[in-house]
Every structure is written in structure tokens, then in C-alpha cells.
A and B are shown apart, each in its own frame.
Chain A
């Protein structure tokens, strides 16, 4: 009984497949090929909101319900002569701030831009202080004992130079 059911399932799936395949291929997203350079540039500043984390113009995520409609809307607005700011604002209003590829450098989101610059500078400062402290501690007292001859000093320099080369 189970094997019959399994066979029936496979046959059913095989029969339904061409219909579903055709439907999926026809409804496939991101096939909006005719875009102006300006629309392309604006599209690259936005993100597809389907959750694929891809640039709007690059989203070919199968089953995506958004990118085709978004690209069409973008083209329409560009054709209408809307300014870049107006287009971006209208998309933010419609889809939320997540539609922007990068957050604006104002308000709270300013932090996302400033922290990666400030943090290494602070770290550099800390390391600089650390190095200075180390170097202060590294001052050695002059060693006592007999003075080395000039020949011996020369040999020492020669050998240490050779060691650094190897």
C-alpha cells in the first residue's frame, strides 16, 4: 500500500511539474532588463526587501515577490523625471528604511560610520602609549666589566649583520 502511494506521489509530482515549472519560470523575478543608467545607479543604492540581502538590481532570488515590482516602479519614476532624493524617499516610505543599502550618516545611524574610524584610532593611541611605556622600561643600565677591543666589536657587528641577513 505504501509503495503504491509512493508511486502515485511520484507520478503526480511528475505530472504537475511541467505546469509548476512553466508557472515559476514565467513569474520569475528580476527580469526587468530595460533600465536606464540612472535607474541602474539608483537600484544599486537599494536592497531587495525579499530578505536575500542583495542589491535590488542584482536580486535574482527565485520566488522573490518584490524585485520585479520594485524595479518596474523605479523605472516608472525615473521616466517620470522624479529626482533621486524623491525616488529614494518614496521607496523608504513604501518599504521602510531597510530598503537603503547603506544607512545615512545622520542621527543614530551616524554611529555605524564613525565607529570603524574612531575605534582603530583609539586602539592605535592605546598601542602607542603601550609602546612608549615599553620603550621607557627598556632603557638598560650600562654594563660593567672590561672594555671590548675594536677587533672584537667589529667581529660582533659582522656576525650580527650576517645573522639578520639569514
Chain B
């Protein structure tokens, strides 16, 4: 099976190479058959990489430790659930997983559009194949997961060493979220390849209009949603597994996943300017390019050891390959843009500073500022070492100081942007739309202030969150009221009808509301408390309104691990509420100890208890308790975000059009025949009007 795996992986590389070279030849010679065969080869890569993945999984499930990768990341006692996830536990397997997800996206993009866009698809096929070639090169020649254990003896004969037991999966990865989190994040990273391919293809082929944006809108949203979910699941994993009471540490690898999310968010907003007004064409193309390059940079940071991180794979020489690939992508994008820059000229100009267009401009500026700040802080230690030969750290305080004001401004724009009209917003409209939400925000802030809620940023966050929520509700209410009065339905039915008529717009509002929930959850961290104490049976520890009574410590064991567990009774205001069992597990195969946190979670607060180990001085068990307000809002916000994105992905329900005679004279009659009049000049309506 190892030979089979290597063989199909090599075939996949050859197929991708053919798709690339054949595709270019097809474009240059305009031979349709050649182009078609190249596109088919691109689709075939999916089947071949799937076989390679299946082959590697076969090794895991049959406990065949003759492969170095399998023996390093699995053992016989590992539950099947985690044997499957061991595919992406290490460098080689995760790169194969990258290639596999990329091949799925490439297959779907090529297959679903096989009979459409004949001028565009050859370029798309070539771009996708180019990216696939890079990753399959790594899979085949740099970090192959099919390397066998053993070697050649003096006579040149090959000996395969088949171990009876593997080293086991990293205990930090033996957690349900780690089975879901990496696939989600990788699906986000790889998913941005499709909009990148279409953008580059449209530019290279000078494909007219905004067609590429319409084609890739859903692809981009899907990739963005995967990236969002991946980031949130990673945060939840850090919270539930690492046992430090937090969910985001501004670790370089965390930051790396955040960067393409930021630019992807900017792109999802700025494309609307191109769809509606034909503006920001250069900006949009470069946003997609940069998003894809940040995906590759993120993958590189995780794998090269350039930055130190608990999430990173072992240091390796693979970074040079990624730097080279990034340089090639940048040069190709730059050359394509330079050669075809006249194709990206704007159709329209900005009419007013108080308009939807300018709010999108500022939204993009703020998002890009956030992206730059995070990237700068992440890479500055590398730059500093390179320039001054001194190693420094750039930790969470830097990122918090820099990004929190930016985030507050973004939250403000989340409320302001949707209420501004395209082209120009009148003062009347501003007053009508903003008065009540603004008043609501200010009142909420005043009430919170009166109740002693005085921290600056949490207070600002509360005011803005109320403001944004009210603007969203007002948007739904205004639209639903019109439908309800016209159709005679109740308001709730009208809200459903309104939403389904413009899913993209109202799904977007739901996503904005999800961001409000996430912001509230993050703001709660300003009020975190924690306490650590040595405890024996009968000892108590108090935090907030909770008292933790230690009842017992015992040991639990199975084939995979042995653990020492605390039995803690949780009392709230003196009344027994529940039992918590924080553990420290010792994993037998890897000989590593990890914490298993116990959390009592409610919408208002989490009581988060860690069994921190035994004191070196007294040998008594130490319990570390945290009281973290509003954390659940973040996870709930994640669910709402997925629902909102799902809604935005749905097709619009078409409104029934009833024609009736018009009593007033038509525009055409009123101004007919006038030179330069609307009736005399062709009017180009932009498609994609749903905003």
C-alpha cells in the first residue's frame, strides 16, 4: 500500500503538470480539445489524491507502523476517531490533506463550470493546476507521508522495519474539536484558491465585466465561513484543552489564520462596490491576490519554524519552498495586473462622502489596517532578529493595544454602513436612520456607567453593540413593515418574506449580529477573575459567588492514558449546584501529561477549573479556578455566523410581479426625444443589485 500511495501521488503530480502545461498550450494554440483534456486532467487530480489519502488512512486503521508518518502519529490504543484525524497531525500528512482539499475545490470548480464560461475556464484550470503542482511537489519530493521505516544494507538491499507499536498521537490533539478544527481551517485556506484562480483568470483573459465576481461570490463566502468556523473552533480548543483560561493568545499561528480572514472580510464587502457601481476593480483583484498569498504565508508560518509557536509543526527546511512559491505568485499577479491594468478602470466615481461606497472604503481601510498591525506584530520578531541580531517578543499586550481601537471602529462601521444609501445619503435619511439606534446605545452606556461599569473599551463596546443591534433590527423592521402593510400579513411572516427576497443582504445582517455577539463575548474578558490554591479533601476555594469544595482525588486509567482526577463540588451562594472533575492525563504512548479542564458554562459566565498538578513543596494538589464572563457568547456568535452565511448563500425568492395600468405619464413620454435624456441614451443596469 505504501508503493500504491506513492504511485498515485506521483500520478496526481503528473496529471496536475499536464493540466498546467496542456492548459497553457490550449490557450495559446486555441485548440479546444487540448484545453478540454487539460481541464479533465485537473479534475482527475482529485481522484488520484483521494486514493493517496485512502491509502494512508488504511495504514492508520490497520496499525501498520512500517510508515514513518504512521508510527510517529498513531498507536494501537488510539481510538478510531483519532486515527482518522492523525492524517493531519504532522507535517507530511497535513500537507497531503491540504492537497486533497485543494483537489476537491478544484474538481468542483472545474466540474460545475465545465459547460460555462468557455473563455474563462482554461485560465482558471491553469491557475488551479499551478497551485496543485506546488503542493504535490511537496507531497512527492519534499515531505512525503509514504516514507517507509528502514533502509538499505551494505549489499544495497532494502529492509523495511515494521514496528509493533507507534509513538501515538500528540495528546493535545486527542480532543473532538481537533478532529473538526483543522479541516475547517484548511477548507478556508484552500477555499480561497478558487476566487484567486477566477480573479487571475479574468485578469489574464480580460474577461468582461464583473462576471468573475458573480461566479466566485458563493465560493468566497464558503471559504470565509470555513475560515471563521476554523478560527472559532481553534479558539474553543485552546480554551477547553490548553488550560490557561483563555481562548486567544495572539500566537503567530493563530494570527496567521486570522490574516486571510481579515482580507477575505474586506473583499466580501468591497465586491459590492464593483457589482453595484463598477468601482474598486483594482482593489478587489488585489484583495483576492493578497488573501490567497496570506493563506500561503499562514501555511508557511505553521510549518517552517520561522516563528515560535505551540501550534507549529516541527522546524523544517520547507519554508524556503513556500517563500519561493509566494515570490512566484506575487510576480505573476504583478505582471498580470501591470499588463491588463487598463481592463480594471472604474466605471463610476464617488458621488458623496456620506454614502455606502465611502463606508465600504473606510471599512476596507480599517480592515487592512488591522491586517497590517497583526502581520507586523507577528513578523517583527523575525525582522528584529534579522536587523539587530536580538531576539524580542511581541506578545498579547501589543496586539490588544493596537487592535482593540481598530476593532471598535469596525464595530461602529458595522452599524453605520448598511444604513447609508448608495451614491449619497441625505441629512434627513441620516437622522431618520440613526437617531433611535444611537439613542439606544447611549442609554445602554449610561445605565451601565451608573451601575459601576467603568472600563473604557468594554463600555464603548457595549454602546456600539447596542447601536449596531438596533440598526439591524430597524433594517428588518422597516422592510417588514412595508411588506406586512401591503400583503396584510403579520410582522413575523413579513420578516421571513423580506429575508428570503434578499438573502444576501439580510444574511449579511445576521452575520453582523453574530459579530456583535462575538464582540460582547470578547469584551467580557476584561472582567475575568482567577485564583489558585493548594487543596486537600474538605478544603474550599471562593471565586465570585462560587465556592469550590474539594471532595476527593482519585486515579482513572485505560489503555490510552492514566489520569489523576479531582472531584469538586460547586456551590453557588452556598447552595450545591454541580460536580466538576478536572483531570491531568498521562498518555502512555507519548509519555506526555496534559490537563483536562472542567467547565461549568452559562450564558453569563464560565466557571473554569484546572487541576494544575501537585505543589513541589507540599505535594498537595493545586486547583486553579477562573471566572470568565460571557465566553459562551463567542461560541453562540459562531453558530449565528454560520446560519447567517448559510442564509446569504441561499438563492433569493422571487417576488410575484403583478402588472397594472399606470395612470401617470411615463418617464419616456415626459422626456422623450431630448438629447442626452434617459430615453435617448442606453442605460446600463448593473446586475447583482442585492446588497
Interface residues of A (CB under 8 A from B): 2-3, 5-6, 9-10, 13-14, 17-18, 20-21, 24-31, 33, 45, 47, 51-55, 58-63, 68, 96-103, 107-109, 111-113, 115-116, 119-120, 123-124, 127, 131, 134-135, 137-138, 143-146, 148-149, 152, 155, 164-166
Contact = CB atoms under 8 A, between A and B. Distances in A.
Interface size of B as a range: 35 or more
Contact of A143 (B402, B564, B676): B676
A3 to B, nearest CB: 8
Nearest to A53: B251
Does more than half of chain A's interface fall in helix, strand or loop, or is it mixed?
helix
8 contacts: A21-B593, A25-B593, A28-B613, A31-B616, A60-B244, A98-B393, A109-B392, A131-B358
Contacts of A120: 365-366, 368-369, 372, 406
A145 B402 contact: no
B657 interface: no
A102 B243 CA distance: 23
A30 B349 CA distance: 60
Contacts of A107: 388
B552 interface: no
Given A116-B372, A164-B429, A100 B361 contact: no
A79 to B, nearest CB: 16
Interface in B237-280: 242-246, 249-252
Contact of A165 (B252, B478, B674): B478
Contact of B677 (A31, A98, A145): A145
B21 interface: no
B249 A155 contact: no
A146 B619 CA distance: 96
Given A5-B164, A25-B614, A62-B592, A135 B249 contact: no
A39 B381 CA distance: 26
Contacts of B559: 10
Nearest to A155: B664
The CB with the most chain B CB atoms within 10 A, among A109, A116, A144, is that of A116
Interface stretch (B122-130, B149-157, B329-337, B582-590): B582-590
A97 B391 contact: yes
Contacts, number: 214
A152 to B, nearest CB: 5
Contacts of B361: 127, 131
A134 B350 contact: yes
Given A24-B613, A60-B610, 16 more contacts: A3-B164, A10-B165, A10-B588, A13-B589, A17-B562, A21-B584, A24-B584, A25-B613, A31-B613, A47-B393, A61-B310, A97-B390, A97-B393, A101-B393, A120-B369, A165-B478
Given A33-B534, A135-B349, A145-B676, A20 B394 contact: no
Contacts of B368: 120, 123
Nearest to A30: B612
A41 to B, nearest CB: 12
Contacts of A102: 393-395, 397-398, 401
A33 B614 CA distance: 11
Interface string B379-390: 011001001101
Contacts of B564: 21, 25
B272 to A, nearest CB: 16
Interface in B299-319: 308-310
A97 B372 CA distance: 24
B205 interface: no
Interface of B: 76-77, 162, 164-165, 242-246, 249-252, 308-310, 346, 349-351, 353, 358, 361, 365-366, 368-369, 372-373, 376-377, 380-381, 384, 387-388, 390-398, 401-402, 406, 421, 425, 429, 478-479, 482, 532-534, 555, 557, 559, 562-564, 584, 586, 588-589, 591-595, 610, 612-616, 619, 622, 624, 664, 670-671, 674-677
Shortest beta-carbon contacts, A-B, top 3: A28-B613, A145-B674, A138-B349
A152 B76 contact: no
Contacts of A138: 349-351
Contacts of A60: 242-244, 595, 610, 612, 624
Nearest to A119: B372
B607 to A, nearest CB: 17
Given A58-B246, A60-B624, A112 B394 contact: yes
A58 B244 contact: yes
A12 to B, nearest CB: 10
A144 B676 CA distance: 7
Contacts of B351: 135, 138
Contact of A148 (B591, B615, B616, B671): B671
A28 B612 contact: yes
A135 B595 CA distance: 60
B76 A6 contact: yes
B250 to A, nearest CB: 8
Nearest to A26: B614
A62 B593 contact: yes
Contact of B393 (A100, A115, A146, A155): A100
Contacts of A17: 557, 562, 586, 588
A149 B249 CA distance: 65
Given A54-B249, A55-B396, A31 B622 contact: yes
Contacts of A119: 369, 372-373, 376
Nearest to A145: B674
Contacts of B421: 164
Nearest to B312: A51
A124 B479 contact: no
A60 B241 CA distance: 11
Nearest to A112: B380
Contacts of A3: 164
Contacts of A53: 249-252, 308-310, 393, 395
Contacts of B164: 2-3, 5-6, 9
